[in-house]
Chains A and B, each alone.
Chain A
Amino acid sequence: MVPQCVLLPRVAALVVISSVCFLRMAVKSVSPYLRELLWRWINLPASGCLSSSSSSSFSSCGIKRQRRFHTGLFRSSSWSGSFLGSNKEDESASCTVEKVLSTRALHNPGIHTTERGSLETKGKLLREFSSTPVLEFEKKCWSCDSKDDASPFFVCTACGAIQPLDEGLDFFQLLSIERSFEVDEKELEKQYKRLQKFLHPDLSSLKSQREQGYSADQSGQVIKAYYTLLDPLSRARYLLTLNGVSIDEEGTIHDPPLLLEIMELREEIEETADPTKLQEIKEKNSIKLQDCEKALSTAFGNGDLAGAIPLVRKMTYYDKISEEITRKL
């Protein structure tokens, strides 16, 4: 029989070894939560991403529409990997951390409004981060990647590269003209010429294919905008389109006085070949067109779109007559 004095230390050693093994296994298998807890407790302060306002408490971050979790604790990808010292662009983050809108909120604990809800922080967030895309369009040069907040963004101020056409801009914005029926034609021409001075495709013949393409698109759109806004009738139609009204979709009209007048005028033009007579009709027609333009200006000025529609129709007919006379002369 082995004496107790020999057995005891062996048993003790066995117990110690097995407990160490067990502890190691337990530490390995225990949830990452506890591992981190242990790690943080041992290694305070940790990543520097989140710091606590009190000495040993942990910062937590939660989103009201999702369940709470202690963000300061997780480094593994199954949780909020982007919170800790890890990469800001950690795509494995399963939580959606909202972008805190004000920088002041970053440094003060409490409930902060974010883009999609609210964010409650119990500690200071030292770093602003977001896993949601930024909602507003960030204008960046495709060539040098520098940011620009010019609108419209034609040319990069840093490298001079012509930018792709922004389809979201209307003709008024493109030519930097105030949106109204009343347009200063001289100002319009000035803007048009200013833009064509650097957007015209002939000026980018030595540049890359890509830039030449952008130049052609931009220049084409500027030309289209200029000619649409130059003519009062097309300007009126465009303004109506911008306000969601489309005249082209309407069917036929039954306006006896107007149609009778147009019919008689057209017959008169058809029957006569005398240039003097035609010129006379043209002059009378021009006066009618000018009256229409004045009335349209008043209508748009008052925001009376319903009143503008019959005027645009009338103007279309008079314009056609003017065209017909010009063709005949």
Chain B
Amino acid sequence: MLTHFARGVTKPSVLGQQATGGLILLKRAYHEKVVDHYNNPRNVGSFDKNDPTVGTGLVGAPACGDVMKLQIKVDESSGEIVDACFKTFGCGSAIASSSLASEWIKGKPMNEAISIKNRDIAKHLSLPPVKLHCSMLAEDAIKAAVKDYRQKKEKLSVEAYVHVETAA
């Protein structure tokens, strides 16, 4: 009897879900934001990877064979990302995730950029569960780019130090 009552109470919400479910069924393809990023990707391109102010993040998703390259141009004094570009070979969700990531990290300091989480990207693009790994790929690409820049910077400063030492 209690379950019957409970069923009666939950019926409107179930109907509501069914209604939205129906709507979702109609728009069964990619979310409009994903389609927008796919058709009009922001910041597609390449920087020179040998440029000392450029960090390159290259990541791949072995499950689906996607590959994503995200490059950042950093202002050395402030540590702020002044420009970003990406190149992704994969599904629409992967392209949209990397496009969005490149938009978000522009103008942010590196420490803030690496705090961007995949769930924020997935939520913004309304990615279905099966495509969550694409947002994860984008998050990892940002981190890889920042890490690459920092490693480059450290290497260059060590080389400069060694050079100074040998000159002296």
Spell out A's residues near B (CB within 8 Å): 247-248, 250-256, 258-260, 262-263, 266-267, 270, 312-313, 316-317, 319-320
* Interface residue B87 (Cβ < 8 Å from any Cβ of A): yes
A253 and B60: CB pair below 8 A?
yes
B59 and A253: CB pair below 8 A?
yes
Taken together as a complex, chains A and B put the C-alpha atoms of A250 and B59 apart, in Å, by: 13
B58 and A263: CB pair below 8 A?
yes
A263 and B144: CB pair below 8 A?
no
Please choose the segment from B62-70, B77-85, B104-112 that sits at the chain A interface, where 4 or more of its residues have CB less than 8 A away: B62-70
B140 and A251: CB pair below 8 A?
yes
Taken together as a complex, chains A and B put the C-alpha atoms of A311 and B25 apart, in Å, by: 39
A317 and B65: CB pair below 8 A?
yes
Taken together as a complex, chains A and B put the C-alpha atoms of A263 and B68 apart, in Å, by: 8
Q: Give chain B residues whose Cβ lies under 8 Å from the Cβ of A248.
A: 63
B63 and A247: CB pair below 8 A?
yes
Most buried by A among B62, B64, B137: B62
B63 and A262: CB pair below 8 A?
no
- Interface size of B in residues (CB-CB distance below 8 Å): 17
B60 and A252: CB pair below 8 A?
yes
A266 and B140: CB pair below 8 A?
no
Least CB distance from B48 to A in Å reads 15
Nearest residue (CB) in A for B49 is A260
The one of A250, A254, A266 in contact with B144, judged by C-beta atoms closer than 8 angstroms, is A254
* Interface residue B136 (Cβ < 8 Å from any Cβ of A): yes
B89 and A263: CB pair below 8 A?
yes
Q: Give chain B residues whose Cβ lies under 8 Å from the Cβ of A313.
A: 62
B63 and A250: CB pair below 8 A?
yes
Q: Give chain B residues whose Cβ lies under 8 Å from the Cβ of A255.
A: 60
Taken together as a complex, chains A and B put the C-alpha atoms of A247 and B60 apart, in Å, by: 13
Nearest residue (CB) in B for A267 is B87
Taken together as a complex, chains A and B put the C-alpha atoms of A250 and B62 apart, in Å, by: 8
Q: Give chain B residues whose Cβ lies under 8 Å from the Cβ of A247.
A: 62-63
Least CB distance from A221 to B in Å reads 24
7 A-B Cβ contacts within 8 A?
A: A247-B63, A251-B136, A252-B60, A252-B133, A252-B140, A253-B62, A259-B60
Interface string of B51-65 (1 = CB under 8 A from A): 000000011111111
> Nearest 10 CB-CB pairs, A to B?
A320-B65, A313-B62, A248-B63, A252-B140, A266-B89, A316-B65, A259-B58, A252-B59, A259-B60, A253-B60
A319 and B65 in contact, given A251-B133, A256-B58, A263-B58 (Cβ under 8 angstroms): yes
